[in-house]
Structure 1
Amino acid sequence: MNLPQIHLDPDILFTVGPVPVSNAMLSAFFVSFLLIVLGILVKTRIALIPGRLQMLIEIIVTFYLEKMEMALGSEKEARRLTPFIVTVALIVVISNQLTLIPLLGSITAGDVNLFKTPTAHYSLTIALTVLGLVSVHAIVFLKAPLRHLGNFFKFHLLFKMKSIKELPMVLIEIFLGLMDIIGEIAKLVSLSTRLFGNMFAGEVVVLIISSLLFATQFLFPIPFIVLSILSGFVQAFVFSILLGIFMSGTWNGIKEKAY
């Protein structure tokens, strides 16, 4: 039995100046390249009577557009956020299945695998989450800075009290507003960690089963590979939907009636 070495850090392939380039980073660049090629193919083949690829993309975009419209309550605003959510969903689903592409996962440079599931490294999942949550906070802040800050720092309620009896409730609202700041950080950590943990665990299970015996390298991993494929699609769906819900919640925060 020759168990592989399992570690959280990706393998470093080479460095560009002071910047190390890992196999997870190279895989993320490769996923971006595939998405660019996909975008060019879809754009050049758009027709009144859609082909299979165009129909698939239209189904995905329409699905997320409907979900975002339900969350935001406006088709106009949903159209602003949907392209980002769809892009994230495609990045995650392709990243999840990348090393399951035949022969791709077995390409090595020396003793190091050239490609690694990008979402099995924490950097990509947290980068996507930070990009989504921070960008929507920045957009909302630019649209209505005082109201957006007022959702977290509710000290203005002290000046709207009509009697001293309202003070306990006002203090509770101020405390809950400050707790919302912690909640935003918790969203970032939980969303990125959920995707990373599931994909890393799935990758480890397949590696261990494949390395137990020579015979287990061929038939035994198949159920786990199928489960990993299904899990990859489910995790991409869950991650993108939750990110869309969190972003729409922040977006809707400035619509709520101020106290």
Structure 2
Amino acid sequence: MTIEHAVEAGHAAPANSTEYIAHHLTHLHNEAGTINLDTFWISAILGLVFLGIFYMASRKATAGVPGRLQNFVEMVMEIVNDTIKGAFHAKSAVIAPLAITIFVWVWLLNAMDFLPVDLLPKLLTYVGVHNLRVVPTADVNHTFAMSFSVVLCVIAFSIKAKGLGGWIKELFTAPFHAHGIAVVFLAPVNFLLQMVELVAKLISLSLRLFGNMYAGELIFILIALLPWWAQWMLGGPWAIFHILIVTLQAFVFMALTVVYLSLAVEKH
């Protein structure tokens, strides 16, 4: 980690620790301030990196002695496939590619935390960019968008498995099943609980990932404020520990997605 409080072109250096932290927690916005451009572009670039790596691995795959890239890709696919086999018992041609994409992409987004705090923000000052947050998953807007996409997949899987009519019927008849006139009285309660369940999935997925990555980003920023010798003493162990957090959060997001999709195709 490095802490460079150099003067940026046309911008004064942060005067104190508070300004330094605020500077590193400020997004690069569009002119209207409605879109976090740093989150968007870094996510898009890392998505292309993921596609490129797996495409190269597929082109170089061999039945003989595998190379390092093939070994890595096969290891990732084995982890994901084991998770799917243990949680998803229906048949779907989409679930495996979706789970692999989520796991690798979220891991890459999280892994941006390993870059030195001042590296990319400093480099981009030379092209006139003076604010940049490099960890997309530390942006709650991004984690909510990913979680919302998962909820849409849950609804789509449920409709495909049960039909539109079956899904709508389940909204009003589960989890409390009833017969006769009791169905009418319990329908609003069932519908409310179904909506609460969907919202809970959305919030749990997004805030768990956001909270862990935001805390990690903030700790790296605080370490960067220390003298250089303290940065090495504290930054190294924290970075090693953070490897576990980055991987675990990517796995948890992927595993919960598989579990939610499995519940969506089951009849209640």
Structure 2-normalised TM-score? 0.78
Once the 2 structures are TM-superposed, how far is the Cα of residue 104 of structure 1 from its aligned partner? 4.9
Is 2:86 the counterpart of 1:70? yes
Amino acid at match of 1:96: N
* Residue number in structure 1 paired with 2:99: 85
> Partners in 1 of 2:133 and 2:41 — Cα distance?
7
* Residue number in structure 2 paired with 1:129: 147
> Partners in 2 of 1:85 and 1:145 — Cα distance?
25
Is 2:78 the counterpart of 1:59? no
Are 2:89 and 2:262, in contact at CA under 8 Å, matched by a contact in 1? Answer: no
Identity across the alignment (%): 24
Is 2:167 the counterpart of 1:148? yes
* Residue number in structure 1 paired with 2:7: none
1:206 pairs, out of 197, 213, 220, with 220
Once the 2 structures are TM-superposed, how far is the Cα of residue 107 of structure 1 from its aligned partner? 3.1
> Partners in 2 of 1:36 and 1:128 — Cα distance?
18
Once the 2 structures are TM-superposed, how far is the Cα of residue 85 of structure 1 from its aligned partner? 1.2
Once the 2 structures are TM-superposed, how far is the Cα of residue 20 of structure 1 from its aligned partner? 4.5
Are 2:88 and 2:258, in contact at CA under 8 Å, matched by a contact in 1? Answer: no
Amino acid at match of 2:28: I
Residues 5-154 of structure 1 aligned to structure 2 (within 5 Å): 5-6=21-22, 10-12=26-28, 20=35, 22-49=37-64, 50-74=66-90, 76-77=91-92, 79-101=93-115, 103-104=119-120, 107-109=123-125, 110=128, 112=130, 114=132, 116-143=134-161, 144-154=163-173
Once the 2 structures are TM-superposed, how far is the Cα of residue 139 of structure 1 from its aligned partner? 3.9
Tell me the SS of whatever aligns to 1:116: coil
Amino acid at match of 2:158: V
Are 2:205 and 2:253, in contact at CA under 8 Å, matched by a contact in 1? Answer: yes
CA displacement, residues 144-197 of structure 1 (integer Å, 9 cap, x when unaligned): 111111221129966x43xx7xx4x98557624431211111110111010001
Once the 2 structures are TM-superposed, how far is the Cα of residue 61 of structure 1 from its aligned partner? 1.8
Are 1:99 and 1:115, in contact at CA under 8 Å, matched by a contact in 2? Answer: no
Once the 2 structures are TM-superposed, how far is the Cα of residue 133 of structure 1 from its aligned partner? 1.8
Are 1:11 and 1:22, in contact at CA under 8 Å, matched by a contact in 2? Answer: yes
Amino acid at match of 1:150: K
> Alignment RMSD, CA only?
3.1
Structure with the bigger percentage of strand:
1
Are 2:21 and 2:221, in contact at CA under 8 Å, matched by a contact in 1? Answer: no
1:227 pairs, out of 234, 241, 258, with 241
CA displacement, residues 182-213 of structure 1 (integer Å, 9 cap, x when unaligned): 11111101110100010000110111122034
Once the 2 structures are TM-superposed, how far is the Cα of residue 111 of structure 1 from its aligned partner? 6.8
Structure 1-normalised TM-score? 0.80
| TM-aligned CA distance change 1:235 to 1:106, over 3 Å | farther
Amino acid at match of 1:245: V
> Partners in 1 of 2:239 and 2:121 — Cα distance?
13
Aligned length: 245
Once the 2 structures are TM-superposed, how far is the Cα of residue 214 of structure 1 from its aligned partner? 4.7
User: For structure 1, which segment, 106-115 or 230-239, has the greater mean C-alpha deviation from structure 2 after superposition?
Assistant: 106-115
CA displacement, residues 75-118 of structure 1 (integer Å, 9 cap, x when unaligned): x33x4311101101101111111241465575332573555111
> Partners in 2 of 1:219 and 1:45 — Cα distance?
41
Unaligned runs of 5+ in 1: none
> Partners in 1 of 2:25 and 2:131 — Cα distance?
13
> Partners in 2 of 1:7 and 1:181 — Cα distance?
39
| TM-aligned CA distance change 1:89 to 1:177, over 3 Å | same
